[in-house]
Structure 1
Amino acid sequence: MEFSRFLPVLIGLLLGAWTMAAAWAVLAARARQNRAEHQLRSARRLGRMVEESPALPLLVRTDGRIEASPRLGQWLGLDGVPQYLSELDGNGKGLPADKLAELTEAVRRCQKTAAPFRMVATPHGSSRSLALRGHLADPQVSPGGAAMVWVFDFSDSETELTRLRDEAARARGDFHALVSLIEAAPMPMWFRRPDGELQLVNHAYVAAVGAESADAVVAKGTELIEAVDGIAPGHVARQAMEKGIPIERIVSTTIDGQRRALRVSDLPLGDDGVAGYAVDIEDLEEMSRSFRAFREAQRALLDQLSAGVAQFDAKRRLTFANQPFQRLFKLDGRILVDPPAFERLLDAARDAGRVPEVRDFPAWRREKAAWFSAGSTQEEPWALADGTHLRIVAQPVPDGGLLLIVEDRTEQLRLSAMRDTLLRTRTATFDSLFESIAVFAPDGRMQIWNRRFAADWGLENEFLDTHPHIEALLRKIASRLKRPVEAETVGNVVRAATLDRNQTGGRIALADGRMLEFAGVPLPDGNGLLAVLDITDSQKAEDALRESNAALIEADAIKTRFLANMSKELRTPLTSIGGFAEMLETGLGGDLSDAGKDYVVSIITASAQLGEHIDSLLDLSQSEAGLLPLKLEEIDPMPFVRTVVEERAGRLQKAGLTLDLQANGLMRPLVADRRRLARAIGHIVDNAIAASPRGARVLVHVSRRKSAAGEDVVRIVVQDKGAGLDSRSLARALDGMKVSADGKSVDRRQGLGLPLARQLVEAHGGSLRLASEPGKGTSAIIELP
């Protein structure tokens, strides 16, 4: 019972204790929750701080797995953070293969030896620069020997460092370039301390003073410039530094044994010192002297020109005027002592009547004064009151002056007027010619033509006024030709005259039956002249004459054949007559009376003469026809001539003449036809017998001599003492012609002696000529090769 009484108390105590324990548990749990929340917030804050920090951690475990922030994947250009270190190189993203291999090796070495490492890498396709610093991870972070790699983004620092490096490299390069430029400068350059002593010189300075090195020049204080009026170069440099302004002067010094002019400049550089350089102006001075000499020579040359030349300076004052200018403008030779201005010169020229007459002279003068500011050359013709024509050319010069050129063109204009008159005269002459005339330029274009040219070719004036090309002209006239293809012949003649400079010609037939003859003649000016003449009537006459000539030739051939045949036909009965007469003479036909015997002798003599005439006629006809046959053999000249002369003994006796046969020198044999050559010499001797009076002497002289061509010939001279021949009769004697009795006409001689003799001698390659004077006889001279 007593336990029952304490049981509620005990239960109450138990419930209170449980309540207190529950309250404590709740309070403790709430405290732990607060601490956990605080720790979670701290972890989140720390994680965010790590995410926002410039360095990101990369935990690499011993099996190659990695833990890192997604931000690191963004730095590496990956879509996310891979599970393993080897996956940081992903198809053109992440780390380059060589850098990944280097990182893998460094991590492996760090995990095994706890050796820290550092490296730099740049992801694929990124300008981000990453610095990687690795060490062994703390066991509390990752037990088991993991490696902790901190990745820093130092792109901004790297860019700044790169820029500073570039600027430093550029500054060093500029400094070296400047030093090299100064050292390589062709002019001497130096630098002085504030006290005026040399501190630095370049190679050109060392070479100019002939020293061994720049240090030797500075150590000895060798000066390039000599002291002028007791003032040393260092003193001049100190004055430039004290005044703070550059000092420039021209001095002379000796360099390499030659006296040279230098332009020396001293440039103060604040408190650092004074820089200086010297420019060799000796060539410039020499050029200046040469320019002055050239100007004097140029002005002397301008004095020799026929055109007037005047030069004005930028102040518009006359600086030079040659003699023709002074003569054209009637200026006093002392004008260059006090050179006038341009306007004053125009006033003086007006007073002398050497400018055109204008209504407003001041305005005209101001217009000419504007030539000085003109941007181009001005040219004007001036017609003076005395008929003089001047050509004025005003050329502004770069220094603001003016070059005035005056040319007297009076004579040229007069010649031009004469030329125009000549051209009009030429045109009128061309138009009045019977020939068609056209002149073509070397490019084939027609320049000049006359009216007859258009009429002969049937061309329109409108077409010719276009000055057509030769090709267009040929196409135009082709349709008017009998054979259109022959138009190219005219073109060839024109091209030969203009381009080849050859004279050619031709004939062409038109479709209307006319015949034109044309010729191309090269002209001295390079053009070609085409002359065309209508030869229709003369062509018809020529054709008629040609037909007549052919008929005459045929008639002559018929005559030659007739003579040859008739001579042969006559020889046969003549031989029969002579033979029968000789038979009668010998008594075969019975005894004849004395009268019959005389008749027979006469018949035989007449037959022999007729036979000789027939042979002569046959030889002459064959010789004229070129058909004379020769039977050549060697003949001794003297016995041969003696035989021919002795055959004429009866005639000589009958005529009461004597014959004198002479020979001079040793005769060489002749190669000739004995019978025909004997006939030729016999005819000449017969002529001499016939021409000689009774009681006279006939001379036959045979000699050997040199001809005019230097050949060895046999000369036979037959000379008589007859009446002789005058010059007119002598000129026609060998052709069988003689002057008529009235002295106004020419008749055929009787007989064929001399013409046949000439033909036969020439057939042997020799010559026959006559020498005669009235009252002194005639000489026939035969020369045979």
Structure 2
Amino acid sequence: MDLERFLPLLIGLLLGAWMLAAAWAVLAARAREKRTESQLRSARRLARMVEESPALPLLVRSDGRIEASPRLAQWLGLDAVPQYLSELDGQGRGLPRDKLAELTEAVRRCQKTAAPFRMVVTPEGSTRSLALRGHLADPQVSPGGAALVWIFDFSDSESELARLREEAARAQGDFHALVSLIEAAPMPMWFRRPDGEIQLVNSAYVAAVGAESAEAVVAGGVELVEAVDGLTPAQVAQQAAEEGAPVERVVHTTIGGQRRALRVSDLPLGEDGVAGYAVDIEDMEEMSRSFKAFRDAQRSMLDQLSAGVAQFDAKRRLTFANQPFQRLFSLPARTMQDPPAFERLLDTARVAGRVPEVRDFPAWRRERAAWFAAGDTHEEAWSLADGTHLRIVAQPVPDGGLLMIVEDRTEQLRLSAIRDTMLRTRTATFDSLFESIAVFAPDGRMQTWNRRFAADWGLDSEFLDTHPHVEALLKKIASRLKRPAEAETVGTVVRAATLDRTQKGGRIGLADGRMLEFAGVPLPDGNGLLAVLDITDSQKVEDALRESNAALIEADAIKTRFLAHMSYELRNPLNSIGGFAEMLEHGLGGELNEAGKDYVGSILQASGQLGEHIDSLLDLSQSEAGMLPLKREEIEVMPFLRTIAEERGQRLEKAGLTLDLRASGLMRPLSADRRRLARAIGHLVDNAITASPRGSRILVQVSRRKADGEDRVQILVQDKGKGMDSRSLARALEGMKVSSDGKRVERRQGLGLPLARQLVEAHGGTLKLVSEPGQGTSAIVELP
């Protein structure tokens, strides 16, 4: 029972003890974990510090295996750290064989005797310098006698030491070279102590002062130059040392018995002293004087040139401009007092309108300013707004300046253009001539020809382009002549024009039936002109004209005989008809009834109209033949026109028309043939009556006007009819005309207008018709 009572208590105690033990175990495990983590962090930090340190450890165990950082493989040029020391030789990489063997021996000796060692190696194919320091490793690092080798990269220190050694050697060599250079220098050179006393001189100084040796010069304090303005050379050197700036001056002294100009320079060298040298500039001074004289002479000569010349220095400033240049660029007189820069000169010239007009002037100006840096000559043409043409030549000079030459080529270009125009005009004129021409030199060779020449003689262009001799030309054209022997006459004409300076000509027939007329004319320049004209057509026309002239003479005779008999042949039957009709009308043949009287009246009226037509036909024929006789008399214009209007009163009344007769101012009498002028005006009025619609008005107006300083009478006949177009007007004025074959007469319109025109022109006047469709017709007669 007691056991049952204490059993739960024991179990509880056991469970509590177990829980306490478990809690202690957990706490102890956490403490160990923290310590482990702390040790790991410390180990990582130490490992990282070793990795970042300038020295890398290499642990070599007794069996030859090695442990090292991957950085060591990079230093040795290997991809990875090998397992054994003997593998540090990587076939062109890693340690050289001799150094690896030395390192292996040193490690073996250190492992056996604990003797430390040091050595320096350079990996193959690398400029890196490595320092190796080895000793026996601590047992805590590696038990069993391992060797620990620390490797340092001292490449920078080694390079710096090598550079310093090289610079020291170079400086020593430079010092010796400088001393030798100073000694061998052709100019006097010296060195003074801070107190101004001479300490060192070269051979040139000794020779200049005429001393025996440099020691004698230093001991005696012999000066090269004399005192200037109360200052000795030593005092000038002390002044340069005090100011800390070089002093340069030009002095004159006697060297070798001659007075020479020297440029003396004193250069302070801090606390060490003052160096000096003297340059003989006597030749330069003489050259400068000669150059100045040459420049003055050259500029005087440039002022006489017609071309403009300007010189610019290396700073691009104008140093000289001759008078033509100033005139061409319109430079004011004060320009040479304050010489402008090149760009400002272009600006001034632009204001004066002496540069070309360009869209982007600043860019154009920069392009011209680049002439100073160019290596070759630039040439271009400037066309100014006023028509001036300038030729610009820009020549860079060795001193960095520029020589600019300006030539006014306006007149030359104008003459060239005139010459080109004349040559083109001459060529066009030659090629447009009906004559074929060729120019021969005194040696007989052809110089110039036109296209017609080749066509007339049947020559090809390839042959003429060779400028053949006259003999070769004659051989070519001989085969084309009707009689080849006549070719020599052409050669005779050419030789007469070129050698004898005489003019000759002739005619020649070609085999194709053409006839050519040629002539040789001497020219002022010594050449000879051969002119050839194809007269084949004119010859044929001349023959035809002779035949036509004979036919015209015969026709004129026939026309004269026709006109002589026309009046009798036409008027005699007509007079007979009219006479018999009048006899019947007066009852000589018996009393006529009313119908008979009407028939007789119609016969009389028709015979009267036929008589008028015959008169018109005779007048027209005589006018065309130039045989129209005029009986001139003084005619008052208004009564004359009124009579013409009254004669047509019945016809006007029958047509329902009104005739308006007007006069502008007082009219002078006309000298004319009343009957024929009345017939001309009457025909114009008759045409107006025929063309006018019923109820319209016909205007007849007479006026005076001045024409070419002559007082003329103008008669206007105007109707309001349908009008005519230009073709109808032309046909109306033609009337009747002879056909083209001369064998028949073609009737175009009535005889009224052509007869009126012929009659007016026979009086020395003009007839003009003005008409438009729908606007009526105006006939204008002007009489002197």
TM range (shorter): 0.3 to 0.5
TM-score scaled by structure 1?
0.40
